[in-house]
Amino acid sequence: MHIGCPSELHPGENRVAMTPTNVKKLVRAGAEILVEEGSGVNSGFSDQEYKDVGAQVLVDRNEILSRSDVILRLRKPDIGEIDRLKKGCIHISYLDPFNEPELIEAFRKQEITAISMEMIPRTTRSQKMDAQSSQANLAGYVVVLLAAAKLPRIFPMMMTPAGTLKPANVFVIGVGVAGLQAIATAKRLGAKVTGFDTRAVVAEQVQSLGAKFLEIDLGETGQTKDGYAVQLTDQQLELQKEGQKKQISTSDVVITTAQVFGRKPPTLVTRDMIDGMRAGSVIVDMAAETGGNVEGSVPGETVVINGVTVIGNGNWANVSAHDASHMYSSNLFNLVDEFWDPETNAVILNFEDDILQGCIVTHQGMIVNETIKRLDR
Residues noted as catalytic: 122, 127, 130, 133, 228
What region, left, alpha or beta, does residue 334 occupy, with left being phi > 0 and alpha being psi -120 to 50 degrees?
A: alpha
What whole-number distance in Å separates Cα of residue 367 and Cα of residue 28?
Answer: 33
Pairing state between β 360-363 and 113-116: antiparallel
**Exposed, middle or buried: residue 287 (CB in 10 Å: 0-12, 13-18, 19+)?**
buried
| CA 187 – CA 189 distance, rounded (Å) | 5
Q: What is the 3-state secondary structure (H, E, C) of 163-215?
A: EEECCCEEEEECCCHHHHHHHHHHHHCCCEEEEECCCHHHHHHHHHCCCEECC
Side-chain-facing half-sphere of 111: CA atoms under 13 Å: 5
DSSP 209-250: TTPEEPP---SS--B-TTSPBPPPPHHHHHHHHHHHHHHHHT
Would you tell me how many other CB atoms lie within 10 Å of the CB of residue 9?
A: 12
| Helix pair angle (20-29, 321-338), 10° resolution | 20
Give CA–CA dist 194/169, Å, rounded: 8
CA atoms within 13 A on the CB side of 16: 26
* Count of C-beta atoms within a 10 Å radius of residue 152: 10
Eight-state DSSP code of residue 155:
S
